[in-house]
């Protein structure tokens, strides 16, 4: 489910937390997952890209990817919580 930059056609990504080393492993992992789900897409060449510049289908793909990351984070938190009980 790759989405290209609408400006240059290059790769985009969502940045991770600016300071992931400040948190212990589990909280850092959860924070990075949630942060990356809501972070603005960023092109390696063009910088941050507003969502309105993407096509309708690309926005849908990005939203579905965000929902999947949040779902995985919730499942991970529940699984680890059950293991620790």
Task: Encode pLDDT of 46-75 as tens digits.
Answer: 988 999 999 999 999 999 989 998 998 889
* Total number of domains constituting the chain: 1
| Domain containing residue 71 | 12-84
Classify residue 49: in a domain, yes or no: yes
19, 12 contact by CB (below 8 A):
no
pLDDT at 22: 54
pLDDT at 18: 57
Classify residue 32: in a domain, yes or no: yes
- pLDDT tens, position by position, 7-44: 999 988 876 555 555 555 556 677 778 778 888 888 98
């Amino acid at each position: 489910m790759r989405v290209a930059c609408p400006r240059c056609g290059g790769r985009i990504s969502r940045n991770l937390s600016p300071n992931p080393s400040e948190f212990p492993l589990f909280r850092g992992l959860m924070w990075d997952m949630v942060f990356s789900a809501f972070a603005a897409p960023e092109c390696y060449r063009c910088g941050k890209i507003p969502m309105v510049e993407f096509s309708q289908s690309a926005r849908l793909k990005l939203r579905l990817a965000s929902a999947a990351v949040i779902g995985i984070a919730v499942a991970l938190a529940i699984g680890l919580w059950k293991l620790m009980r």
